[in-house]
Amino acid sequence: MLHPLSVVIITKNEEKNIANAIKSAKFASEVLILDSGSEDKTCEISRKLGARVEYQSWLGFGRQKNQAIRLAKNNWVMVLDADEVITPKLQLEILEKLKKPNCNGYLVPRVNNFFGKDIRFCGLYPDYSLRLFNKKFGKFNNLAVHESVILKGKKDYLRNNLRHLAYESVGQFIDKQKKYANLSKKKKNIMKAILSPIWVFFKIFFLRLGFLDGWRGFVIAYLYSKYTFWKYYR
C-alpha cells in the first residue's frame, strides 16, 4: 500500500523558483503552497501548475511551516523550500519508502548550489535535514529562523539528494544572511562578534575543506563569518 504524500512549500515572491519546485513535486498526490502575501506571480504560477494555494500572514519560519503541515490533506508530508527541487532519483526513493515506511521520518541529503556550482565541502554536504515525515509524529519547533523538525519515534536516512539552488550571486547571499541575522534572537555580544567570525572562517575553509571548493569555498567561509558578526553585533 502506497501512503499518499503531500508536498508543502511556504512562499513569498518566489515566481523565479516556484515552477521548478512544483514540477519536481508532481509525483505526490498533493502539492500545497502556503503563501504569505506574494506581490508577484507566485500564486498564479502555482495554480496553473495544479498546486493548491492557501494564504497565511507571516508567522516566522517554524510556525509558518507547521501551519502548512496542518493544512495538508495527507499524514505523510515532504517539506520543500521554493528554491529546492526533488531529483528524479529521490522521487523514486520516496515512493518506494512510502509503500512500507519503516520509521516516522526520513532525513534527506541536500546538495547546495552556490554561484553556479554544487558545493561538496565547507561542511555543506550532505547537509542532512528531516524533511519527509508522518505529521502525526512530527512538527517544526517555533524558531523564527533555522527551524527544525521535532520527531517522536524512529527516523532513518535517504540516499538520494534534494537539490538546493541556494545563491546565484554574492549579493543575494549577503541579503539573505542579513535577514537571518536580524531574525536571530542572539543578544548583542561584542566579544563573540570579534572572536566567533574568525573561528567560523577557519572551521569552514580549513577544517571542513572549503578550500577544495576553490574561490567559492573562500567566499562561503568569508560570508558565513560575516553573518556570525552580524548575528552578535546587530
Domains of the chain: 5-166 (3.90.550.10), 169-233 (no CATH)
- Please compute the mean of the pLDDT values over residues 152-161 and round it to a whole number: 98
More confident: 183 or 84: 84
List C-alpha distances in Å: 18 to 131, 151, 181, 215, 228. Answer: 18, 27, 25, 29, 29
In the prediction, which pLDDT does 145 show?
77
pLDDT band at 153; cut points 50, 70, 90? very high
Tell me the pLDDT tens digit for each residue of 93-128: 999 999 999 999 999 999 999 999 999 999 999 999
List C-alpha distances in Å: 81 to 13, 33, 224. Answer: 13, 10, 21
Check pLDDT > 80 for residue 182: no
Distance from C-alpha of 167 to C-alpha of 26, rounded to nearest angstrom: 24
Check pLDDT > 70 for residue 33: yes
pLDDT band at 177; cut points 50, 70, 90? confident
Check pLDDT > 80 for residue 183: no
pLDDT band at 169; cut points 50, 70, 90? confident
- Please compute the mean of the pLDDT values over residues 119-148 and round it to a whole number: 94
Is there a contact between 2 and 92 (Cβ–Cβ < 8 Å)? Answer: no
CA of residue 132 relative to chain centroid, distance: 12
Check pLDDT > 70 for residue 181: no
Check pLDDT > 70 for residue 227: yes
pTM of the model: 0.89
In the prediction, which pLDDT does 126 show?
95
More confident: 171 or 148: 148
More confident: 61 or 176: 61
Long-range contact list for 114-119, CB < 8 A, 24+ apart? Answer: 114/166, 114/167, 114/173, 114/216, 114/219, 114/220, 115/167, 115/168, 115/169, 115/170, 115/216, 115/219, 116/168, 117/213, 117/216, 118/163, 119/213, 119/216, 119/217, 119/220
Check pLDDT > 90 for residue 68: yes
**Joined grid coordinates for residue 11:** 512562499
In the prediction, which pLDDT does 185 show?
60
Mean pLDDT, rounded, of the chain: 93
- Please compute the mean of the pLDDT values over residues 24-53 and round it to a whole number: 98
More confident: 192 or 87: 87
More confident: 110 or 230: 110
